[in-house]
Structure 1
């Protein structure tokens, strides 16, 4: 699944959230969108999922325009919704079935897959939610809901994943297992958003850096190179320079802001 953004700008409630953003994502590529809260990461993912449409610029998917007119076409909409899945940061908005088993089976059943039960069993095991299959999703903790929502998405077999703060509300061990699982998905385009620098390089080898009030992107390249660039991290607000004195000597240290 490929995406192309060409000069994309987005205003919400009269405020410019994104301005003149351009980049392309190749099929099967993994990319992490980095930036502080308010820089437009979630808005950008919603644009890529066709939940919002830009106020200026163009978005393409698989060589075709991704806009309201395209999604009005039933055939295009079915292909796009079957191929592209969005994991919301607040997964409560995604969970509505009476049991976890029904939640995971919903997508495969809607798409007419005859092996829905097998898909439920497979992804419940992979996401470690087998013990919850008979329970209502609303009874679960935030981290458990996140794993159920991801199992439900993956059970439908998408070819592209848009993940908004995928590791939020997960303990370190669960976050590590999730990152490992996602890294094992072959041929699936993955675009993550996060402000947590400690997981960025594990999520994706390519990083795109956004900053509030700035047009375009501040950086687009290897994640490791960005994490080693203190100037850019400070400029974007993901780190700050802390200076202090030892006698007559002044020292400066950089501190990152990576708590979720």
Structure 2
């Protein structure tokens, strides 16, 4: 830790009552401490931090490190709403947050929460975005509303009811409602957690534009280091409830080993840059690494290529010779709107899921991924066509009965908690089925998912990442033949995401088929052996991950962006695409190393 950094405030005692305000600072935190009611340990302790006006800051750290609690002190929810043990001071534009109401602070600090659906309070998109400006009687409320919707590209949704939207679309609406207030500071907790890759890029581009053109200070709580590298100017690392350091982004990302210890591994390009271009400054973006590698690699596509990518569909691969676990036959489904019309979500979908397959279900927001999962659980039945699971038509069995064979983990983890403790929630299903190994199963899952420390806490009171791990524990305890997961790595730090990937890979001996609806292209590349791409109500492609990332037109149509190393490989002409850091370095190390040697020796 470098306390000499110009962005790091020296730790000191509690601030005096009257002290000069730093003109360039929009947020000043001095010796902040906070303990939630009934918590055994403080969530924040001795926090000192200064955020300069106009900065673009990423707050990073492992799940439960205090990131969200810290940011909630900026808009007054702590201590006005969460009335725990509060000490120290927080100044926002010179205002002491303990002396200013949350309503007043909302003009200064806008916040898009991790559980953003709870902040949507109006029926239509237009009503929601205009709610703040209208509620405060702002004369230009109409202009603010139109501008916010246009900035985020959701003006076409203006008359839609918010409950008709996908999770990603709802996230954009929540952000637009904050933009309409034109605050000095905008905080976004997990900006891309439920967005498809294209919309994720757009959100960051628009946040960057606000920061650049309006001077709005942007604070993001983020686990995706690649977005931090591309858009942020400084990084705050939280560890065990305090600020470990606050550094410029390039300095922060150069501490790759330290970030990894806190569950935030550096971007893929940083790892490759350190391995293959050690004679150059560390690359932090795809473009930087591609430029550093050009001229060092001859015929990259021929350098240690893997087996040629298959052009067959996943249904024609060897795994497809195994028994069918579930199938959809000419399935049509849509939701009836309030006006009486019926929208089309799935339009004649045919799909067979085979034993032993690891299936990634991908597509843009609103493509029907969650709907397809719900059809497989029996929670929904098709308007036309048939869904059959383990030989049983879902029209002939209740969802409760089907739960013995199908486990579905919701996109929003808080919906999975029904008891007072995480331990009780995980134990509920095996105990209700009187399984003799219920106790042993629960303890094994708690340990494997790193949940022992929160096992006796209410799951609804945990951080978003902790909730995600707990819901995975609930699903694993059900040991179904078909496991369905909706965005399982959303809101997880990268270390925990890697644990999830490992756990999914280990499930083949207990679960016959796993289907994951996801926007996480790292998960697709590193875990899936089959990818089903949804769009326009149908299956656009059924293929392998390597085939998906080789098809630029399909990626654009499905609003998908490959992992960073895949993008760099494509930029260098590699074919077939590479899927991981290990594969990239293996394919390019020899040539890049020879060229590095020549450059160093010249």
Q: What's the TM-score, normalizing by structure 1?
A: 0.85
- Is residue 2:518 matched to residue 1:190? no
Aligned partner of 2:456 among 113, 117, 134 = 134
Aligned partner of 2:439 among 117, 121, 127 = 117
Query: What is the 5 A alignment of 1:27-176?
Result: 27-67=355-395, 69-71=396-398, 78=401, 80-176=402-498
Measured after TM superposition, the shift of residue 56 of structure 1 is 1.1
Measured after TM superposition, the shift of residue 89 of structure 1 is 0.8
Question: What are the Cα deviations for residues 227-251 of structure 1, in whole angstroms up to 9, with x where unaligned?
Answer: 12111111222259xxxxxxxxxx9
Q: Which residue of 2 aligns with 1:205?
A: 529
Question: Structure 1: which 5+ runs fail to align?
Answer: 241-250, 252-260
Query: What is the 5 A alignment of 1:3-18?
Result: 3-13=326-336, 14-18=342-346
Question: What are the Cα deviations for residues 98-132 of structure 1, in whole angstroms up to 9, with x where unaligned?
Answer: 11111111011111112322111100011110111
Question: What are the Cα deviations for residues 165-213 of structure 1, in whole angstroms up to 9, with x where unaligned?
Answer: 01001011111111111111124210010122232122311000011xx
Conservation of the 8 A alpha-carbon contact between 1:34 and 1:207: yes
Q: Which residue of 2 aligns with 1:234?
A: 556
Measured after TM superposition, the shift of residue 215 of structure 1 is 4.4
- Normalized per residue, the structure richer in strand is 1
Conservation of the 8 A alpha-carbon contact between 2:345 and 2:537: no
Measured after TM superposition, the shift of residue 221 of structure 1 is 1.3
Distance 1:17 1:228 in 2: 27
Q: Look up the SS of the partner of 1:167 in the other structure.
A: coil
- Is residue 2:349 matched to residue 1:21? yes
Q: What's the TM-score, normalizing by structure 2?
A: 0.38
Conservation of the 8 A alpha-carbon contact between 1:230 and 1:239: no
Conservation of the 8 A alpha-carbon contact between 2:521 and 2:561: no
Larger radius of gyration: 2
Q: How many residues align?
A: 233
Q: Look up the SS of the partner of 2:532 in the other structure.
A: strand
